[in-house]
């Protein structure tokens, strides 16, 4: 439960955001809990995230602004792991470096700045430019469907609810719709316009015998997603999943790997020493 000081501070910051919105960023507290904020970052031009819609949550501590929030990204981006606390100087990973003068706007601007960089930290993903463009093209679909229908989640979409504020993939987009009803409606219209299958995120085949006049945006989406089949999109997603799996295995077993190298080094030293 928020302290009176945190309640007052967050209420004032929300009022400021409404009067002076930050470009490419929208944010609001949950109706049931002022410590839980839902935010949308729009991918900036001239970046692989251009026109992507990235949903994140800020979970503030009861004693904010004297401690920073936990930050989680829920939309796959090729830059961050989903539903995972991000290690940033503005997050709860580094409470001693947090400045009480920093506001919600400061935190979100810092998050977007970090997203557009290549710095790696806990919770980061080293995706390629093609993978990030692919995720950006699917971001609206992912947010408004939760990564597919509730009964048939899309293969390869991570299902995770770990941590406070975790969002379940394959939930049919219920949580996103509840927090962003207007954006959800726009996303559904966007999927219809660009012939995106709500169940899979793939482009639907063109109707036989009907000429399709694609807008420049639709043509760009088709190039990125690889048409109505798996195509380029499947290859990109497969490469991303494989790399994430490899990075996860190495990271989880790094101490055993180091111990193995050390043991080999010691045994080699003994063998060559006996030969001498």
Residues forming beta bridges with residue 70, ordered by sequence position = 59
Q: What backbone phi and psi angles, to 5 degrees, belong to 219?
A: -60, -40
Give the confidence band of 147 by pLDDT, cuts at 50, 70, 90: confident
Going from N- to C-terminal start, the domains of the chain cover 4-208+216-244
**How does pLDDT run across 162-174, given as a tens digit for each residue?**
444 445 545 668 8
DSSP H helices in the chain: 4-19, 104-115, 129-145, 174-179, 181-193, 216-225, 231-252, 254-275
Residue 174 is predicted with a pLDDT of: 87
The yes-or-no verdict on residue 275 having pLDDT over 80 is no
> For the domain with range 4-208+216-244, which CATH number is right: 3.40.50.12240, 3.10.110.10, 3.90.45.10, 3.90.1150.10?
3.10.110.10
23-37, 165-179, 197-211, 213-227 — which one is most confidently predicted on average?
23-37
The yes-or-no verdict on residue 150 having pLDDT over 60 is no
Residue 216 is predicted with a pLDDT of: 84
Give the confidence band of 227 by pLDDT, cuts at 50, 70, 90: low
Is residue 214 annotated as part of the catalytic site, yes or no?
no
Give the confidence band of 179 by pLDDT, cuts at 50, 70, 90: very high
The yes-or-no verdict on residue 244 having pLDDT over 50 is no
Mean pLDDT confidence for 82-105? 93
Our CA angle for 91, 97, 99, nearest 5°, is: 85
Residue 29 is predicted with a pLDDT of: 96
Do residues 53 and 143 lie in contact, with contact meaning Cβ atoms separated by under 8 Å? Answer: yes
The yes-or-no verdict on residue 160 having pLDDT over 50 is no
56, 87, 188, 214: the active-site residue: 87
Residue 148 is predicted with a pLDDT of: 60
The yes-or-no verdict on residue 261 having pLDDT over 90 is no
**In what order do the strands lie in the sheet containing 25-29?**
25-29, 36-42, 53-59, 70-73
- Exposure pattern of 238-251 as b/e (b: 16+ CB <10 Å)? eebeebbeeeeeee
The yes-or-no verdict on residue 231 having pLDDT over 90 is no
Contacts for 209 with CB less than 8 Å, ≥ 6 apart: none
Residue 80 is predicted with a pLDDT of: 95
Residue 220 is predicted with a pLDDT of: 87
Residue 151 is predicted with a pLDDT of: 42
Q: What is the mean pLDDT of the chain?
A: 81
The yes-or-no verdict on residue 55 having pLDDT over 60 is yes
Question: For a pLDDT cut of 90, what percent of the chain falls above it?
Answer: 54
118: helix, strand or coil:
coil
Tell me the whole-structure pTM to 2 decimals: 0.77
Residue 42 is predicted with a pLDDT of: 97
Mean pLDDT confidence for 105-127? 93
Mean pLDDT confidence for 27-49? 95
Mean pLDDT confidence for 129-157? 77
Do residues 209 and 69 lie in contact, with contact meaning Cβ atoms separated by under 8 Å? Answer: no
């Amino acid at each position: 439960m928020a302290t009176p000081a945190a309640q007052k501070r967050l209420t004032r910051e929300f009022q400021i955001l409404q009067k002076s919105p930050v470009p490419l960023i929208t944010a609001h507290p949950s109706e049931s809990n002022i410590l839980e904020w839902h935010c949308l970052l729009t991918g900036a031009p001239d970046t692989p995230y251009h026109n992507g819609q990235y949903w994140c949550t800020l979970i503030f501590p009861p004693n904010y602004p004297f401690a920073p929030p936990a930050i989680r990204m829920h939309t796959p981006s090729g830059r961050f792991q989903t539903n995972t606390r991000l290690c940033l100087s503005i997050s709860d990973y580094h409470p001693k470096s947090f400045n009480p003068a920093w506001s919600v706007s400061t935190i979100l601007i810092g998050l977007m700045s970090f997203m557009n960089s290549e710095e790696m930290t806990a919770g980061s993903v080293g995706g390629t430019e093609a993978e990030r463009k692919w995720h950006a093209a699917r971001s609206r679909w992912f947010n408004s469907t939760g990564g597919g229908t509730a009964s048939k989640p899309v293969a390869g979409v991570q299902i995770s609810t770990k941590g406070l504020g975790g969002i379940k993939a394959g939930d049919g987009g219920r949580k996103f719709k509840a927090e962003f009803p207007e954006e959800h409606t726009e996303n559904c219209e966007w999927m219809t316009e660009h012939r995106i299958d709500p169940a899979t995120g793939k482009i639907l085949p063109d109707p036989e015998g009907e000429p399709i006049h694609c807008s420049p945006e639709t043509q760009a989406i088709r190039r990125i997603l690889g048409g109505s089949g798996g195509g380029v999109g499947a290859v990109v997603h497969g490469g991303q999943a494989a790399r994430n799996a490899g990075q996860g295995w190495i990271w989880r077993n790094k101490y055993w790997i180091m111990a193995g190298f050390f043991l080999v080094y010691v045994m080699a030293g003994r063998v060559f020493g006996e030969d001498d």
